[in-house]
Amino acid sequence: MERTAEFTTVINNYNYADYLRDAIESVLAQTEPVRLIVVDDGSTDHSREIIASYGDRLTPVLRENGGQVSACLAGLERVDTPYVHFLDADDRLLPDFAAKIRAALASSPTKVQCRMQSIDAGGARLPSVFPSFPDGYDSAAMLHDIAVWSVPISPPTSGNVFATALLAGLQSGYDYENAIDGVPLFLAPEMGEVVSIDEALVEYRVHGKNKHQQHKLSIEGIEREMTRTRNRLVHFADLSGRVDLAKQAETGGQMLEWEMLANVARGKRPSLSLVLSYIRALTASSQNAKRKLAFSAWALALFSLPDAKRRELAVSRQSSVNRSALLKRLFGSR
């Protein structure tokens, strides 16, 4: 008997025709069944012709441009499986993604997350595989990291599978955001179990236009990230009632890191007190010992090095696909 799908993949697409077929094919090629919805958010390239070419092998949702969050929510309205996975149209799944995810769903978690293998625009593999999950990284550890680090260890959108019920309250109050997985990253460990798969099951394409990667030091970009995180925390507190946790997270390590980066972007040396506060938060986080040592050294280098070197290190830290290279340069570790 054919097994039924337990989760739906929703591909959100806007003018990514160059990569869209790759994303669709990677879902259809899974060894376990996955329902597929493709939302086109008003593309002006030939994306819709690509979608139409698959006929009834997928469910198309064609709409006027409204942004990534509204596109994902439009797809979510058509999901009738217990779990949902949002796949960015420039990423693609490895063949055993569905099988590995399905096995992890046996314990009825609120979220399953996996590592991601970075690839270049043409699909060739790059050295970076991220993020690094500590052994046994679970909901309790994630809530701890939210408190001390402002955010849990989590991959970008395509590396997460959420319980559909977890997203039920997101149809309103999400106008501050441009990513569907924003506040759910905080809600998932608060509302139940999170399963972390320490294996790359998704390929993350790096092509210079990724919304989640900053490739230059920009005060506007840094301030935007800080504001977005604060808004996520407010939204999280509203939905969960965890005002206490949201307040702690406002002064966590990630916010301190962005404050250091903002100083560097303005041509200023981060203060020693700020650097030491960052190192204390890093020490309290769930990062492994090598990463704690490496990023402590990175923070001290921001304080001690001349401006040009500070800026180089700051740019390396901003992009997750650059971080393994940064760690190797500092300590020969990943």
The domain that holds 197 is classified in CATH as 3.90.550.10
Stretches in the chain below the pLDDT threshold 70: 1-5, 208-215, 318-334
Are 190 and 292 members of one domain? no
Angle between helices 219-240 and 184-191 (to 10 degrees): 30
Find all residues with CB under 8 Å of 221, minimum gap 6, and list them. 214
- Of 179, 206, 233, which one is at a domain's C-terminal end? 206
Are 162 and 128 members of one domain? yes
Are 156 and 226 members of one domain? no
What's residue 284's pLDDT? 98
Are 27 and 58 members of one domain? yes
Domain that holds residue 29: 7-206
- The residue written with tokens 């007190």 in the block is 273
pLDDT tens-place string over residues 180-218: 999 999 999 999 999 999 999 999 999 866 555 445 788
What's residue 326's pLDDT? 55
Are 225 and 158 members of one domain? no
Are 166 and 63 members of one domain? yes
Q: Which of 54, 66, 45 is nearest to 21 (CA)?
A: 54
**Does residue 279 fall inside a structural domain?**
yes
Burial profile 40-75: b = 16 or more Cβ within 10 angstroms, e = fewer: bbbbeeebbebbeebeeebbebeeeeeebbbbbbbb
**Does residue 213 fall inside a structural domain?**
no
What's residue 329's pLDDT? 55
Are 118 and 87 members of one domain? yes
Are 159 and 25 members of one domain? yes
**Token digits of residue 319:** 């992009």
What's residue 315's pLDDT? 86
Q: Which of 126, 112, 193, 201 is nearest to 154 (CA)?
A: 112
User: What's the total number of domains in the chain?
Assistant: 2
Are 84 and 200 members of one domain? yes
What's residue 334's pLDDT? 42
